[in-house]
Amino acid sequence: MAGLQKILIVLLVLILVLLALVFSLNNQMAVSLNFLLFETQPHGVAVWVIMAFVIGALFGVLMTLLATFKTAVSRRSLKKRLDRAEQALEKSRAETNRTL
């Protein structure tokens, strides 16, 4: 089953590469992007689209890493609080058993 999954992933990657190649070959018209203060050098439409995709993917990965880090820090803090509460409970139970 794992071998079939690897083959399907390789086929999917090859199809995506082929689609990207066809896209870039069909969109070679050079355009420049005009921002408020500057204008870029002319590049093919495919270059701009692929660059936007890569920057968006990197931004998404960065946001995911930040969220994961925040969750890990929160989890660690809650684990410490839980350990302290469990220790206090055990201490309280021990004291209650001594008084009985």
Q: At what angle do helices 45-99 and 2-26 cross, to 10 degrees?
A: 140
Return the structure tokens found at 26. 């069909």
The domains of the chain are located at 2-75
Question: How do residues 45-91 score in pLDDT, each as one tens digit?
Answer: 888 888 999 999 999 999 999 999 999 999 999 999 999 999 999 99
Residue 12: pLDDT above 90? Answer: yes
**Per-residue pLDDT, 98:** 82
Return the structure tokens found at 45. 């439409």
**Per-residue pLDDT, 42:** 92
Give me the mean pLDDT over the 30-42 stretch: 90
- Range scoring the smallest mean pLDDT among 5-9, 20-24, 29-33: 20-24
